[in-house]
Amino acid sequence: MPVFKIVNFLGIFSKSLPILVLLLTGCATKTPPTTVDPLESYNRTMRHVNQAIDKIIFKPVAKTYDTITPSPIRRGIRNALSNLHEPNSAVNHMLQGELFYAISDMWRFIINSTIGLAGLFDVASHMNLTKNQQDFGLTLKKWGYQHSAYVVLPILGPSTVRDTMGFMVDNSTLSTYRYLEPVKLRNTVNIIRIIDGRADLLDIDAILDASIDPYIAERNAYLQNRSANTDSAGLAYDSIEADIDSALTEET
C-alpha cells in the first residue's frame, strides 16, 4: 500500500508539487462530502503505480528495518522525529488562534529536547503536556476549507488537494527539518522518517488486502484519520480542563 504518513515526510518533493496542485485546483473549492472523490479514476491508477513502487522499494526496506531494530530503539526514534515536528505544530496552532496549544507545543519541544535527550524520551507527556500535533492542511480546514477532493499523489500516496497545499507550506516554510545542519544529517533524518513511517504501517497492509475494495478502505482510513486529528484538540482541552477541575475539587 502507499505510505500514508509519507505525505508528512518528503520535503524533497515540495518544489514539484505546485504543478500538481494547479492541475487539481478545479476540485479544491468547498467539495461536498458526496463528491469527495471526483478523481477516482486517476486515483486508482496512481495507487496501482504506487503499489508497484512500494512493493519493490519501500516495503522490503521497512520490513528489514522492523526486523533488525529493537522496539525500544524504534520508539525512541519515533519520539525524536515527532519532537522535531513540535515547532511546526506550534506555528499552526498560532495560525488557528489556539495560543494555549501553541505554548504547550513549545514547552513539549523544550522539555523533550533537553530532559528527553533530543526527544528520544517523551517526558512532556508524563508531565500532562498532551501531544496534539497540527499541520497547515488542518489549519486550512480550521480557516473554513472543510471539504476537499481526495487525491493519490505519486510516491507520496493518499492526500487531498487541501492537504497537498498544506504539505507544500509545511515542508517549504514551517518544517524544522529543513534547518537541520549539516545537509548530510538532514538527509539521513529524512530517510529515517520515510523508513520508520512505512514500517509503522506494515500491520495495516493485511487489513487493506483483506478488504473488498482496498482503494476505498485506504481512502476512508485517510479521511477519517484527518478528521480525528482535527477533533483531537478539543478532546485534549476537555481532558486538561477536567484535570484542573479535579485538582481544584480536591483542594476544597
**Residue 165 in contact with residue 139, Cβ under 8 Å?**
no
**Residue 31 in contact with residue 148, Cβ under 8 Å?**
yes
> CA separation (Å) from 246 to 188, 202, 241, 252?
45, 40, 9, 10
Tell whether 125 is covered by a domain: yes
Question: Which range marks the domain in which residue 179 is found?
Answer: 5-245
Contacting residues for 54 by C-beta, under 8 A, at least 6 apart: 1, 2, 3, 198
**Residue 112 in contact with residue 79, Cβ under 8 Å?**
yes
Q: What pTM was estimated for this model as a whole?
A: 0.76
Tell whether 222 is covered by a domain: yes
Tell whether 212 is covered by a domain: yes
Query: 43-85 pLDDT, tens per residue?
Result: 999 999 999 999 999 999 999 999 999 999 999 999 999 999 9
Tell whether 227 is covered by a domain: yes
Mean of per-residue pLDDT scores for the chain:
83
Question: What total number of domains does the chain contain?
Answer: 1
- Please check the confidence at residue 115 and state whether its pLDDT lies above 90: yes
Question: Nine-digit cell at 149?
Answer: 477532493
**Rounded Cα–Cα distance for residues 180 and 142 (Å):** 29
Q: What is the pLDDT of residue 1?
A: 53
Within 10 angstroms of residue 193's Cβ, the number of other Cβ atoms is 22
Tell whether 39 is covered by a domain: yes
Tell whether 251 is covered by a domain: no
Q: C-alpha angle 180/185/188, rounded to 5°? A: 120
How many residues make up the chain in this entry?
Answer: 252
Q: What is the dihedral of CA 112, 113, 115, 119, to 10 degrees?
A: 60
Q: What is the pLDDT of residue 206?
A: 87
Q: What is the pLDDT of residue 40?
A: 96
Q: Which residue has the higher pLDDT, 154 or 24?
A: 154
Query: 98-113 pLDDT, tens per residue?
Result: 999 999 999 999 999 9
Tell whether 250 is covered by a domain: no
Tell whether 207 is covered by a domain: yes
